[in-house]
Amino acid sequence: MENRASYILVGAFVVALVVTGFVVVLWLASVQFDKTPARYLVNFRTAVTGL
């Protein structure tokens, strides 16, 4: 029974670590879900082959 308890603790720790990492990445990226992104229309006067 002791082995199973340690597996549960390790699994809980890994899940908490992944969730915390996801939250930190979103926080560092300053994600704002309520804003709509700006759209830009770009017109080129010459050919842009190779882009």
Q: In which region does residue 41 sit, left (phi positive, over 0), alpha (psi from -120 to 50) or beta (all else)?
A: beta
Q: What is the pTM of this model?
A: 0.54
Per-residue pLDDT tens over the stretch 7-51: 888 999 999 999 999 999 988 887 777 778 889 998 888 888 887
Distance CA(44)–CA(51), nearest Å, equals 12
Would you say residue 1 has pLDDT above 60?
A: no
**Every domain of the chain and the residues it spans:** 1-51
Output the pLDDT for position 41.
94
Output the pLDDT for position 51.
74
Output the pLDDT for position 48.
85
